[in-house]
Every structure is written in C-alpha cells, then in structure tokens.
Chain A
Amino acid sequence: AQTVTQSQPEMSVQEAETVTLSCTYDTSENNYYLFWYKQPPSRQMILVIRQEAYKQQNATENRFSVNFQKAAKSFSLKISDSQLGDTAMYFCAFIRGEGAQKLVFGQGTRLTINP
C-alpha cells in the first residue's frame, strides 16, 4: 500500500522568507503522480503543484517549486518570497498512474506566514 508522510506538523516563517515543506512517500509503483494541495483557513482545498514521476525536471508554478528525488522517494515543496496569503494547511498527495482513482494524502503541515 502506498503511504505519504509529512514529518512537520507545523511551520512558521516571516513574510518574504523562503520555506520548504517535506514529504516522503512509499510505493513500489514506477508510474505515479505527486501533488501538493493547499487548504487555506476558508477550508476549500486547491491544487498547488503536480509532478509526474517519469519527469526528471522539477515542477514549478510561480513562487512554488518542488524538489523531487525519486530514488529517495522525497517530494518537498519550496515557497519563495512567502506571502501572508500562503498561510494554510499543505498536504502532500500521491496517486498511481494506471487507472487509479484514489489520491493518498499525507497528514498535512500547518504553515503560518508572519508579518
């Protein structure tokens, strides 16, 4: 069974700083996708960034980037120039590549950006 682990329950940084959230996963699959989801205090969860396992290049979306280490099964999220609006719960998630319907989530990291 696939598992996703986020070892940082809470993090806090100052506005404009860079912060990295950690995620490790366990799978025997070779084809899969990894994701970071953001859940702001308003509670509606949204997708932040997606990484296909077959791609060696790390995904980036504006201030958000990932460090995908397939051999180490590590998938960290870096937020550059953090903003107050980045305050949220962040969930790392995994899905198998072939015909899978189920997203497996980590426990979440509560990130607070301080002014």
Chain B
Amino acid sequence: SQTIHQWPATLVQPVGSPLSLECTVEGTSNPNLYWYRQAAGRGLQLLFYSVGIGQISSEVPQNLSASRPQDRQFILSSKKLLLSDSGFYLCAWSVLGQNTGELFFGEGSRLTVL
C-alpha cells in the first residue's frame, strides 16, 4: 500500500534562518507531488507541484522553493524565513496522469517563525 510521510512534524525557527521540509512517498512510482500551505480561515493554498523529477511548477511568488531530487521525494526550502512563512504545510501525492482529484495527504508540518 502507498504511504506518505513528511517531517519534521513541528518546527520553530527564527526569522532569517533556512528551512527544509521533506516529504517521501512509498509504494507507488511517478506520482504527482504537491506542497500546500494551510492558513486559518484561508483554506489550502497550492504552493508547488511536480509531475516528475526536477520538474517544479510554482503557483505563487514567495520566499519558498521546492525541489524533487528523486521520484518520490519532494522538498520545500527557504534560504531565509520570514514571519509570514509561519503556517501548516501539507505534502500530497496523486496518481500521475489521473486528474480525478484524489490527493493523498501527509500528516503535515507546523512551522512557526519567531
């Protein structure tokens, strides 16, 4: 069966520090991968998605970047965190080429920038 893991679950970082959130999927190949940010009262905002290794699409201009160094690994990064980067980050995957909308989500990573 397929599983998705993301870590760390909780992170407290000072402004200006770097960030790396990792997500891995097991039990499937060539998944679509996504990073969403969840803010209170604002639902889920798509940040990045990837349809293959090294292929990253960015949805909103921001202080963050994403990379996909391996087929089932998706990394969210920042060189210098801002206060506004605080939030709950969700990684998700879907079956490549299947746009039926079913996403499988990780447990989430809560980032607090102080």
Contacts and interface: CB of A to CB of B under 8 A. Distances in A.
Interface of A: 4, 6, 9, 33, 35, 37, 42-47, 50, 91, 93, 95-108
Given A101-B49, A102-B59, A107 B42 contact: yes
The 5 closest A-B pairs by CB, nearest first: A45-B105, A105-B44, A107-B43, A95-B101, A105-B43
A107 B41 contact: yes
B41 A99 contact: no
Interface string B60-96: 0000000000000000000000000000101010100
B103 interface: yes
Contacts, number: 62
B46 interface: yes
28 contacts: A4-B43, A9-B41, A33-B99, A33-B100, A37-B103, A43-B107, A44-B105, A44-B106, A44-B107, A45-B92, A45-B105, A50-B101, A50-B102, A91-B44, A93-B101, A95-B99, A95-B100, A96-B99, A99-B99, A101-B32, A101-B49, A101-B99, A103-B46, A103-B101, A103-B103, A104-B46, A105-B43, A108-B43
Given A44-B106, A99-B99, A102-B46, 12 more contacts: A4-B43, A6-B43, A33-B100, A35-B102, A44-B107, A45-B103, A50-B101, A101-B57, A101-B94, A101-B99, A103-B103, A104-B46
